[in-house]
Structure formats: C-alpha cells, structure tokens
Amino acid sequence: MSARIQIPAEAKRGEIIEVRILIQHVMETGYRFDDRGTPIARNVITSILCNYNGREVMRADTSSGIAANPYLQFCMLAEASGELVLSWVDDEGVRGTERASLSVSG
C-alpha cells in the first residue's frame, strides 16, 4: 500500500495552498459477492486525517461508496514551515502514513 501527497515545496506566509492526496486502497464495499456467492467482507478506509505542525487541518470519515484508491483535494493556509502528516486507518485496522514538508517564507 502506498500514498502520495502533493503540495508546493514553498509558500508565502498567509498563502492558500492546495493539498492533493492519493491513497492506494481496494475500498472493498462489503456489497459484493465472490464467484461462489460468498459475501466479500467490507474493507474500506474509515478515517483520513491530515495534521500540519501537529494541528488537524483536514479530516474525512469515509465509508463504502468511495472509489478504490481514493483521491482527495483540499486547501489550507500556509502559516509556518513544517510538516504535513497524512494518516489513515481501514476496517482491518491497517494504518498508513505519508509526510510532506513545506517551507514557508515571509
């Protein structure tokens, strides 16, 4: 499993920047059956969180109905240089994280 974050490498203080996220995940809906008719257990990401210098800037509570390999995009205010930490957890309890650094001037 892997994920990506895209942010500009540098920004000016007070600038609004765009954050893009892509997480590789099957997002098994729980509504499907295998070839033998046995239900396939649901396994979706249930929570996606983004912290910026320790403060929560985005949270999404996701469920069935979100496509595989979810893509998210949001904006945030660049305040100080630091790190953006993305983390998520799925129905099986598997957790993942990915980081990106931002350098803020001015």
**68 lines the binding site for another protein (CB under 8 A):** yes
Q: Which stretch binds another protein (CB under 8 A): 10-18, 41-49, 51-59, 66-74?
A: 66-74
Kindly report the backbone phi and psi dihedral angles of residue 101, in degrees, each rounded to the nearest multiple of 5, phi listed first: -105, 150
- Residue from 8, 13, 18, 26 touching another protein (CB under 8 A): that is 26
Q: What is the DSSP string of 17-71?
A: EEEEEEE----B-S--B-TTSPBPPPB-EEEEEEEETTEEEEEEE--TTSPSS-E
Q: How far is the CB of 106 from another protein (least distance, A)?
A: 27
Q: How far is the CB of 21 from another protein (least distance, A)?
A: 10
